[in-house]
Structure 1
Amino acid sequence: MHKIVVLYPEPADAAAFKEYYESTHLPLAAKLPGLRAMRYSFDVSGDYFAIWEGEFDDAEAAGAAMASPEGQAVQADVPNYATGGAVVLDYPVRVP
């Protein structure tokens, strides 16, 4: 399995972020080809306001998803709500 994790710092307007994120951005993300599961939270401790996790079969599937038209639309949409920017991590999941 391969994960993409997006961490969002505090936005300028938390209520506007949440409304846009849930009504517009998450439906875009749900269309990513090869996406096996996704989850998010606004209850993040530490330096971040929100987190999103997407699971893919492998690194190739994650890369293809982000390079697809749907992935390009997801990436292009981020500035529409994430005034604090976004930190993107991706990694293979290892199970002991």
Structure 2
Amino acid sequence: MASKEELEEQLQTARQDIATLTAMAGETARDQVRNGADQARAQVDGLSAETRALYDSARGEGARLRRNTAEQVQSHPLASTGLAFAAGVVVAGLLARR
């Protein structure tokens, strides 16, 4: 049977091993959190660039459509007025049904 001193030494060794394992587990967890945060940041940056490109594209397309519409209205003012009137009649008819 082990003496009291041997048991105390084994207990001290076990405490040191537990402390070492705890420190290693904490460091591993911190590394995983850092890696996850870096990956998330990279994905957000990628989405931000993609979103910005889509926004710029949609904005450019909207400006192009607005210019084309203005040109058509200026080229055909009577047809534009008639079309606007007809659209108003249709919308009024739909709203009157409610």
Q: Could you say whether these structures have the same fold, taking a TM-score greater than 0.5 normalized by the shorter chain as the test? A: no
Higher RCO by CA contacts (8 Å cutoff, separation 6 or greater): 1
Larger radius of gyration between Structure 1 and Structure 2: 2
Q: Which has the higher helix share?
A: 2
Class of the TM-score when normalised by the shorter of the 2 chains: under 0.3
Q: Which has the higher strand share?
A: 1
